[in-house]
Structure 1
Amino acid sequence: MKKRRVVGASVLSLVMGVSMFATGAFGQQPNSQDESFRVIIQGPTADKSQAKKNVGVRWDFGADGFTTTVNSKQYQALLKNNNLTIEKVEEVQLAPNKEAAAKPGGSTNSGPSDRTPWGIQAIYNDAAIQATSGGNGIKVAVLDTGANTSHADLTNQVEQCKDFTQTKSPLIDGSCSDGNGHGTHVAGTVLADGGSTGQGIYGVAPEADLWAYKVLNNRGSGYSDDIASAIRMAADEATRTGSKVIISMSLGSSAKDTLISSAVDYAYGKGVLVVAAAGNDGPSSNTIGYPGALVNAVAVAALEDVQQNGTYRVADFSSRGNPNTDGDYIIQERDVEVSAPGRAIESTWNDGSYNTISGTSMATPHVSGLAAKIWAENPAMSHTQLRKELQDRAKLYDIKGGTGAATGDDYASGFGFPRVR
């Protein structure tokens, strides 16, 4: 079981027009006692208990083991216990040239160029829409680079703000600062409310509540154990507060991670709907990333504002699923489920202004917001009924444009584009 550090569908490029799922090199074992690294430790209860006393605990996953940060001397000491299995929680780094090329363009400080951008108009199926509504009482946990909770278009919706990325403390409540911009942008597409001045931008469901969970650092990368813990916490908070919760994850990796997979199953089992980006490694087939590729996550592909064959077109950068399952309308692992606007999406930015960026990261919050709007209107629905409703609405607007898109369920666009009406 190899643990990998997961990178968001994350640092975006206006030049390239896409965000990238990075695939960099693993970190190396420290050469001195002063260097440290993350590990997951598994084994018999008694041995784990002693190890916890010796090296401490960051996250405890029960039967799946616990994670901690150790130096080289501690690591070597742990290896002497043959009853323990110790794996590094590996790190995936953004390739430096991609990171440099992926800096977003300038923000607009005078206000958004359009208070209801094309993605909002498309998902509402209304080119003349001036404002959005809905989502009241639904909690959307955005697991990302954090959020600017003081942004005029978001501040009224913030209910929780947590940071899972700090090294000295696994969880800081009340902190979720976004030094990247990606998380603020995603949150805005879900639920921006137009701002108190009436000059701001709108998201899909402006009455929903934001749970801003910072699981990626300001470079757009994060450890899988932190992400898994945030998923589990959102699920536990759903139970504790008696809330209907949607987890929105515009992040991913090409490899399946056991901790994250288990956490998604845990959340789904608690009645939480999980929505995740398909990735940005298209247009070839079988390029979908995880956790979007998991059966218990709704994988979202990206559409662009271009008409082809009478429908919107799937962007070339959008990752594709498995063509062998085309036409079955059954979600299996590595299947794209639905599509939504993802190219040239304007939304809130971390400096209090607005920015236009692209990626399946941007498509995902459109679907998360739509799910919140539908759930608020139909509170008796279970999360599985809500998911079916998304699928049924997607079938009403089949996507036939873009590589791999075809009539019916296909590996590029999934069931289609779900909309408000």
Structure 2
Amino acid sequence: MKKVKSTLFSLLIAGSLMSPANAATLGSEDNSTNNVGQEKFRVYIEANNQSAKQSAKAQYSARWELTENGFSTEMNEKQFQALQKNKNFTVTKVPVVSLDPINLELGEDYTTEDRTPDASAYARASQQVPWGIKAIYNNSSLTSTSGGSGVNIAVLDTGVNTSHPDLANTVEQCKDFTTATAVVNNSCTDRNGHGTHVAGSALADGGSDRGGVYGVAPDADLWAYKVLTDSGSGYSDDIAAAIRHAADQATSTGTKTIINMSLGSSANNSLISSAVNYAYSKGVLIVAAAGNSGYAQGTIGYPGALPNAIAVAALENVQQNGTYRVADYSSRGYASTDGDYVIQQGDIEISAPGSAIYSTWYNGSYNTISGTSMATPHVSGLAAKIWAQNPSWSHTQLRSNLQTRAKAVDIKGGYGAATGDDYASGFGFARVQ
């Protein structure tokens, strides 16, 4: 069994201030034959006013405009240092979100089932209803799933293999936020596997022949947004733009939307946090991985740690103290907030199956991996199923219902797990019934 571990991390380097007059001289400075400092990187420019913003946009090509007077772009070190001296701008390097080889969102255990399709037919799943799906349905004899009609699940990840037979019928949107162009429609190729696996747990429908794997809510619509590259890394501005785009799409189409982010960072990034708050204000439910940095306290990553996101802990298919067990790797909140049943920054909210999860894979096959990344789509799928049954509910009513369901299935297994609201499992394990 090959072990793959990673966690998403980012570092925000604050820039100082400088003036438009200096910006006008940057072009000639860059044309120097000296190549030192010419490698480009992503930055976010925040202007003091619209006039200064337009001046900067005339100099640099805007990628994402995520604030009223700001935009992201690329520049080299010489340009960055010069712009830092301009009093009309605040310039920050955009954090790179990467997979860390020590602690991963991709999972603890990582095994690929050799079911790559040949030219004539796809190999079918050996586990049509994986243990996590049976657990969340509370039905060990389950042979298929249903629900989620009319609800969108936006999977912000490494992309999705939208041709996978168990996902092809669910795809409504497929967009790439990682290319040189700001966004590319009808493109979300996944060469990593993580995003396809996540999507499968949320809404795989077994395929046209019903011989494939099932997710929690197979009737939901998939919005596959590629925000991480094939290596599993990406920029926070791309992620923030995708969050805002999903929220705007939900508003323009008048549909219920859930954003699934099986990614995280140890640092709170302002672009992503403001995007989460924006989406939440638009009636979108945000579900995010807690992270795999447990079992120490205070290890929940962002955006999961944000109050407007549901942080999901990972359960193992192991019974302890009469309940499922929270995995050791699953990040924890703080024991000081145990028992309050109030979601604050850095709290676990809900637990779901996350270890040894079998699901769809990028090459048309299937894979078993573990992590809070795998637990998160179980909650997103459950939310879609419940919302479809209660279309008049707001996202806050839906969230309250998920919490109520979680309270009904207390988790007492694993480090930090205890009776009631605790820093390891949150309110408990939310289930279909």
Tell whether the structures are fold-level matches, with TM greater than 0.5.
yes
Equivalents in 2 of 1:373, 1:31: separation in Å? 55
Matches within 5 A, 1:188-227: 188-227=200-239
Matched with 1:285 is 297
Matching of residue 21 in structure 1 with residue 34 in structure 2:
no
Matched with 2:345 is 333
Matched with 2:36 is 32
- SS of 1:63's partner is coil
- The Cα offsets for residues 206-259 of structure 1, whole Å up to 9 and x where unpaired, read as 000000000011111111100000000000000000010000000000110001
Whether contact under 8 Å (2:5, 2:107) holds in the other structure is: no
Equivalents in 2 of 1:344, 1:250: separation in Å? 16
Equivalents in 1 of 2:290, 2:102: separation in Å? 23
Equivalents in 1 of 2:100, 2:387: separation in Å? 40
- The Cα offsets for residues 349-371 of structure 1, whole Å up to 9 and x where unpaired, read as 00001000000000000000000
The structure-2 alpha-carbon separation of the partners of 1:98 and 1:134, relative to structure 1 and needing over 3 Å to count, comes to closer
Matched with 1:165 is 178
Matching of residue 311 in structure 1 with residue 323 in structure 2:
yes
Q: How far is the alpha carbon of 1:31 from its aligned partner? A: 6.7
Amino acid at match of 2:72: T
Matches within 5 A, 1:109-128: 109=115, 110-128=123-141
> Which has the greater radius of gyration?
2
Matched with 1:184 is 196
Whether contact under 8 Å (1:15, 1:102) holds in the other structure is: no
Q: How far is the alpha carbon of 1:76 from its aligned partner? A: 3.8
Equivalents in 2 of 1:265, 1:92: separation in Å? 20
Q: How far is the alpha carbon of 1:58 from its aligned partner? A: 0.6
- The Cα offsets for residues 7-27 of structure 1, whole Å up to 9 and x where unpaired, read as xxxxxxx544x7431448899
Moved more, 72-81 or 266-275: 72-81
- SS of 1:328's partner is coil
Amino acid at match of 1:190: A
- The Cα offsets for residues 311-334 of structure 1, whole Å up to 9 and x where unpaired, read as 000000000011111000000000
Equivalents in 2 of 1:108, 1:296: separation in Å? 39
Q: 1:140 aligns with which of 129, 134, 153?
A: 153
Equivalents in 1 of 2:240, 2:52: separation in Å? 23
Equivalents in 2 of 1:103, 1:116: separation in Å? 19
The structure-2 alpha-carbon separation of the partners of 1:402 and 1:101, relative to structure 1 and needing over 3 Å to count, comes to closer
Equivalents in 1 of 2:351, 2:35: separation in Å? 46
Matches within 5 A, 1:222-241: 222-241=234-253
Whether contact under 8 Å (1:276, 1:292) holds in the other structure is: yes
Equivalents in 2 of 1:31, 1:414: separation in Å? 53
Q: 1:242 aligns with which of 243, 248, 254?
A: 254
- The Cα offsets for residues 86-112 of structure 1, whole Å up to 9 and x where unpaired, read as 111133544567799989433331322
Equivalents in 1 of 2:11, 2:298: separation in Å? 22
Equivalents in 1 of 2:233, 2:211: separation in Å? 33
Unmatched 5+ residue regions in structure 2? 16-33, 116-122
Matched with 2:162 is 149
Matched with 2:64 is 59
The structure-2 alpha-carbon separation of the partners of 1:92 and 1:271, relative to structure 1 and needing over 3 Å to count, comes to closer
- The Cα offsets for residues 144-188 of structure 1, whole Å up to 9 and x where unpaired, read as 00000000000000000000011x211111100001000000000
Whether contact under 8 Å (2:12, 2:269) holds in the other structure is: no
Matching of residue 356 in structure 1 with residue 368 in structure 2:
yes
Matching of residue 107 in structure 1 with residue 120 in structure 2:
no
Matched with 1:257 is 269
The structure-2 alpha-carbon separation of the partners of 1:25 and 1:95, relative to structure 1 and needing over 3 Å to count, comes to farther
Amino acid at match of 2:168: T
The structure-2 alpha-carbon separation of the partners of 1:290 and 1:44, relative to structure 1 and needing over 3 Å to count, comes to same
Matching of residue 43 in structure 1 with residue 55 in structure 2:
no
Whether contact under 8 Å (2:7, 2:101) holds in the other structure is: no
Unmatched 5+ residue regions in structure 1? 1-13
Amino acid at match of 2:129: T
The structure-2 alpha-carbon separation of the partners of 1:388 and 1:43, relative to structure 1 and needing over 3 Å to count, comes to same
Matched with 2:22 is none
The sequence identity of aligned pairs, in percent, is 63
Matched with 1:68 is 73
The structure-2 alpha-carbon separation of the partners of 1:31 and 1:126, relative to structure 1 and needing over 3 Å to count, comes to farther
Matched with 1:88 is 93
Q: How far is the alpha carbon of 1:295 from its aligned partner? A: 0.2
- SS of 2:385's partner is helix
Matching of residue 385 in structure 1 with residue 397 in structure 2:
yes
- SS of 1:39's partner is strand
The structure-2 alpha-carbon separation of the partners of 1:389 and 1:93, relative to structure 1 and needing over 3 Å to count, comes to closer
- The Cα offsets for residues 124-143 of structure 1, whole Å up to 9 and x where unpaired, read as 00000000000000000000
Q: How far is the alpha carbon of 1:71 from its aligned partner? A: 2.1
The structure-2 alpha-carbon separation of the partners of 1:303 and 1:258, relative to structure 1 and needing over 3 Å to count, comes to same
Whether contact under 8 Å (2:288, 2:310) holds in the other structure is: yes
Q: How far is the alpha carbon of 1:64 from its aligned partner? A: 6.2
TM-score relative to the length of structure 2: 0.89
Matched with 1:9 is none
Equivalents in 1 of 2:287, 2:380: separation in Å? 6
Equivalents in 1 of 2:11, 2:98: separation in Å? 6
Amino acid at match of 1:41: I
Whether contact under 8 Å (2:292, 2:371) holds in the other structure is: yes
TM-score relative to the length of structure 1: 0.92
Equivalents in 1 of 2:274, 2:183: separation in Å? 20
Amino acid at match of 1:152: P
- The Cα offsets for residues 349-397 of structure 1, whole Å up to 9 and x where unpaired, read as 0000100000000000000000000000000110000000000000110
Equivalents in 2 of 1:119, 1:192: separation in Å? 13
Please report the RMSD computed on the Cα atoms of aligned residues, expressed in angstroms: 2.2
Matched with 2:21 is none
Matched with 2:20 is none
